[in-house]
């Protein structure tokens, strides 16, 4: 990513690594788009347009999450667990499953939003903050 991130690469590819700041910005953008959509669309229109909006948001979220997980040295498949937990909590899940999904989300916030990426290159690419000198 060479320190510069193209918007298309940020939201539409799952390869490579992503440092914290672009991850937090991209996450805020996706949450804002989802919240604006939820607040502004009526029930009938929501049923029709949700078939297009939600898959796009989920795909973009999976790409952003995968890149950040790669920066932490984790496989991108953990993004599925995080997105599933987020969807369950968005619908206000309760009980034992709600608690389990809450634990997953707390882990995700700490792992992806607080912890730094791995130093140096890992199996997913070079460190986005310190690219290898040519």
130 part of a folded domain: no
Quickly state the pLDDT bin for 3 (edges 50, 70, 90). low
54 part of a folded domain: yes
Q: What pTM was estimated for this model as a whole?
A: 0.86
124 part of a folded domain: no
pLDDT tens sequence across 25-76: 999 999 999 999 988 987 778 888 989 999 999 999 999 999 999 999 999 9
User: Residue 134: what pLDDT?
Assistant: 46
Q: Is the pLDDT of residue 94 over 80?
A: no
Contact (Cβ atoms closer than 8 angstroms) between residue 75 and residue 124 = no
59 part of a folded domain: yes
Segment 74-96 mean pLDDT: 86
Total domains, the chain: 1
User: Could you tell me which residues come within 8 angstroms of residue 63 by beta carbon, excluding any fewer than 6 positions away?
Assistant: 10, 11, 12, 13, 14
> How many CB atoms are located within 10 Å of the residue 65 CB?
27
Whole-number Cα distances in Å, 53 to 24, 33, 36, 66: 21, 9, 12, 20
55 part of a folded domain: yes
User: Residue 93: what pLDDT?
Assistant: 67
Q: Which DSSP category does 133 fall into?
A: P
Q: Is the pLDDT of residue 127 over 60?
A: yes
Angle at which helix 20-40 crosses helix 43-71, to 10 degrees, equals: 170
Q: Is the pLDDT of residue 130 over 80?
A: no
Domain extent, residue 62, equals 7-114
Helix (H, G, I), strand (E, B) or coil at 38: helix
Average pLDDT value over all residues in the chain: 88
129 part of a folded domain: no
Q: Is the pLDDT of residue 133 over 60?
A: no
Helix (H, G, I), strand (E, B) or coil at 122: strand
Q: Which two tokens stand for residue 72?
A: 């932490």
């Amino acid at each position: 990513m060479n320190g510069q991130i193209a918007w298309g690469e940020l939201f539409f590819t799952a390869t490579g690594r992503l440092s914290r700041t672009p991850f937090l910005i991209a996450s805020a953008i996706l949450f804002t788009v989802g919240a604006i959509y939820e607040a502004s669309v009526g029930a009938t229109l929501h049923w029709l347009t949700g078939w297009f909006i939600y898959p796009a948001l989920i795909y973009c979220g999976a790409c952003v999450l995968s890149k950040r997980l790669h920066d932490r040295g984790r496989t991108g498949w953990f993004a599925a667990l995080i997105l599933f937990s987020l969807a369950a909590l968005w619908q206000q899940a309760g009980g034992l499953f709600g608690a389990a999904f809450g634990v997953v989300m707390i882990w995700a916030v700490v792992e992806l939003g607080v912890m730094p990426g791995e130093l140096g290159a890992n199996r997913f690419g070079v460190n986005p903050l310190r690219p290898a000198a040519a």
